[in-house]
Amino acid sequence: MHRFFLPEHSLQGNRVIFPVLQARQIVRVLRLGVGDCVVVLFDNGMEYEVVLDEVNRSRVQGVVRAQRYASGEPMVELALFVSLTQREKFEWILQKCTEAGVSLFCPYVSSRSLTQETSAVEAKYVRWNHILREAAEQSGRGRVPRLRPPLRFAQALHEVRNSNGLALIFWEGEGGISLRAMLADVPFCGKVSLFIGPEGGFSEEEIRQAQAFGLYPVSLGRRILRMETAALAASVLVLYELEDREGQSSGGGAAGP
Amino acid sequence: MHRFFLPEHSLQGNRVIFPVLQARQIVRVLRLGVGDCVVVLFDNGMEYEVVLDEVNRSRVQGVVRAQRYASGEPMVELALFVSLTQREKFEWILQKCTEAGVSLFCPYVSSRSLTQETSAVEAKYVRWNHILREAAEQSGRGRVPRLRPPLRFAQALHEVRNSNGLALIFWEGEGGISLRAMLADVPFCGKVSLFIGPEGGFSEEEIRQAQAFGLYPVSLGRRILRMETAALAASVLVLYELEDREGQSSGGGAAGP
């Protein structure tokens, strides 16, 4: 079923009035008609099944026939701290890691980041938010992941220290334990922050700095992954471990957030 | 340390004579000199640490000072059956899933594959094998994954039935169990085949056909992943589960294959 994130004011009582852009897509691209069903989302974790009852070039409307927690929306809030890099690679990370279940993207700049300018990227935020929304619709999420303005590495560490969750930094050097060993001892954890290094990796100094801020260095395994591969693999594995654990302890299923 | 897959005849006794291409890269691009160390691989699962003792524009040679099992080479032989698709997406899958640890890529064409022509792709095999080799070098593998000629879906199922390993087909419809539940009951398994659907998914008929050939339908979780995301996520998760299990049962470490 096609999914659409809409602004909250599109819902009036149990009627949904589609904004012009989505109305045009429904009529001209998807060619849906009266009686067809779509899923509408208001970025609050819920999904609304809507039957279209008016479909024409000037107006598309429908009525809510069911609402439920969007089961694709993870219980674990996963924040991904990822270095600024080439546009194409960064956009790929936004798209794929949204599918994987990341809730918050926090770009940063560290000593070895390919892109050192934090101000240059702000013009891209409209485009990037569009990528996030589309990926969230396509993958069955109930919320659009948020995208923070880029931070310097040290600022990002401050941010994480204040966030009260589990914080991991992926590092293939000495002193890291495996992700599996790390997560084996963690009880259900509602908030996890992951730091993925830039193409040139973190410096040892940066790892020491991260440890001083309470982050745990962990290893992703025996192979060296590119930055973008590591971002997706780490997101997938952390949610595989923790989402399921939550499912087991609560009896599974899509309970409210 | 830089890694190079070389033809077997480059090793003579304990001396390595670098072919022209790699010699040029060592001299002109990497600017290495006498005394520098590189890792040389002969696609047999072992890695050889080589100290360069002659470096000039006409010849690069070195001497083996250590050899060991390449720890980045997985114990589990993972075969990925993936639909032919747009070139860019397919190449992305080759690169990322090599990093993840796939040993064998088997492209196929099913009813909903975007590309239906199996013969048109053979011209790309040189380029695709180059992508596999580079990704294997970069990620620390001890072998270059193999790439099969494309098969029709039914032929691919035949192939898997004859391969004597665990075979999973990823499917988000009814009747699939979760990957975690599936793997919980599997003892160490040296050979796994994974089928990832094309952009439009498998038809129910194809899933029934696969089951008749002994494949198990499994689900990747609560979110709908794009084809390429699913290929990488599935490869990462299967090796995370099974590689580690092997590590635990054998006491860990890099034993011979």
Domain limits, chain A: 3-69, 77-250
DSSP A153: H
Q: Does A102 touch chain B (CB under 8 A)?
A: no
Q: What does the block give as tokens for B64?
A: 């083996």
Q: Are B243 and A236 inside 8 Å of each other by CB?
A: no
The yes-or-no verdict on residue B196 having pLDDT over 70 is yes
What residue of A is the nearest CA neighbor of B237?
A: A237
Q: Which of B127, B136, B75 is nearest to B100 (CA)?
A: B136
Contacts of A233 in chain B (CB under 8 A): 100, 232, 236
3-class DSSP state of A132: helix
Q: Answer for the pair A64, A49: CB distance below 8 angstroms, yes or no.
A: yes
For residue B119, pLDDT over 90 is answered with: no
Can you give A65-131 as a three-state secondary structure string? EEEEECCCCCCCEEEEEEECCCHHHHHHHHHHHHHHCCCEEEEEECCCCCCCCCHHHHHHHHHHHHH
> A–B: how many Cβ contacts below 8 A?
86
Task: Tell me the HSE value of A92 on the side-chain side, using a 13 A CA sphere.
Answer: 18
> Looking at residue A114, what is its pLDDT?
84
Query: pTM of the entire structure?
Result: 0.92
Measured CA distances, B217 to A213, B55, B58, B197 (Å): 44, 54, 56, 11
Q: Say yes or no: A224 contacts chain B, CB-CB below 8 A.
A: yes
Q: Cβ distance B16 to B6 under 8 Å?
A: yes
Provide the token pair at B32: 């290495």
What was the pLDDT predicted at A4? 96
Chain A residues in contact with B72 by the CB 8 A cut-off are 222-224
Name the residue in chain A with its Cα closest to that of B138.
Answer: A224
Instruction: Look at A243 and B222 and tell me if their CB atoms are within 8 Å.
Output: yes
Q: What six digits make up the tokens of A158?
A: 């401050």
Q: What share of chain B is helix, strand, coil (3-state, %, to 5)?
A: 35, 25, 35
**Distance, CA of B244 to CA of B242 (rounded, Å):** 5
DSSP for residue B124: G
One fold for both A3-69 and A77-250? no
Preferred mutation among B229, B239, B244 to probe A, highest tally of A CBs within 10 A: B229
Candidates B42, B45, B40; CA nearest to B62 is B40
Report pLDDT digits (tens) over B41-92: 999 999 999 999 999 988 999 999 999 999 899 999 999 999 999 999 999 9
Distance of residue A140 Cα from the nearest chain B Cα, in angstroms: 6
A248/B112 Cα distance (integer angstroms) = 36
More confident residue, A120 or B177: B177
Round to whole Å and give the CA distance between A62 and A51: 5
Nearest CA in chain B to A239: B221
Read off the amino acid at residue A86: Q
Which residues, listed in sequence order, are joined to residue B195 by a DSSP beta bridge? B81, B169
Tokens of B235: 């490869």
Strands B216-219 and B177-178: parallel
Contact assignment for B224 to A74 by CB distance below 8 Å: no
Nearest residue, CB atoms, B180 vs list A140, A222, A244:
A244
Burial of residue B237, with CB atoms counted within 10 A of its CB: 0-12 exposed, 13-18 middle, 19 or more buried: buried
Residue A229 to chain B, least CA–CA distance (Å):
6
Q: What is the pLDDT of residues B135-159, one digit of tens each?
A: 999 999 999 999 999 999 999 999 9
Give the residue from chain B lying closest to A228, CA to CA.
B96
The pLDDT, as a whole number, for residue B252 is 34
Instruction: Tell me: pLDDT of B249 over 80.
Output: no
Burial class (CB in 10 A: 0-12, 13-18, 19+), A91: middle
Q: Which helix (H) or strand (E) holds A136?
A: helix A125-139
The answer to whether B145 and B152 are in contact (CB under 8 A) is: no
A94 at interface of B, judged by CB pairs closer than 8 A = no
CB within 8 Å: B224 and A180: no
- For the domain with range B77-250, which CATH number is right: 3.30.2400.10, 3.40.1280.10, 3.30.2310.20, 3.40.50.10890? 3.40.1280.10
Tell me, yes or no, if A50 comes closer than 8 A to chain B by beta carbon: no
Length of chain B, in residues: 257
Do B222 and A74 make contact, defined as CB atoms within 8 angstroms?
yes
CB-based contact B140 A224, cutoff 8 Å: yes
Collapsing DSSP states into helix, strand and coil, what is residue A1? coil
Tokens 């008609």 belong to residue: A33
In sequence order, the 6+-apart residues with CB closer than 8 A to the CB of A192 are A76, A77, A78, A79, A165, A166, A167, A168, A238, A242
Q: Is A252 left (phi over 0), alpha (psi -120 to 50) or beta?
A: left
In whole angstroms, give the CA distance from residue A83 to residue A231: 10
Is A140 close to B232, i.e. CB distance below 8 A? no
A interface test, pick of B39, B103, B223, B245 with most A CB neighbours within 10 Å: B223
User: Residue B247's pLDDT is what?
Assistant: 46
Residue among A139, A229, A240 whose CB faces B225 most closely: A139
- One pLDDT digit (tens) per residue for chain A, 257 residues: 899 999 999 999 999 999 999 999 999 999 999 999 999 999 999 999 999 999 998 899 999 999 999 989 999 999 999 999 999 999 999 999 999 999 999 999 998 888 888 777 778 899 999 999 999 999 999 999 999 999 999 999 999 988 888 999 999 877 678 999 998 877 767 899 999 999 989 999 999 999 999 999 999 988 999 999 999 999 999 999 998 665 444 333 333 33
Distance from CA of B205 to the nearest CA of A (A): 21
Establish if A203 touches chain B: CB-CB under 8 angstroms: no
- Using a CB–CB cutoff of 8 Å, tell me whether B232 touches chain A: yes
Residue with tokens 């049962």: B249
- ipTM of the complex, rounded to two decimals: 0.91
The topology (CATH level 3) of A3-69 is Ribosomal Protein L25; Chain P (2.40.240)
Angle between helices A87-100 and A125-139 (to 10 degrees): 30
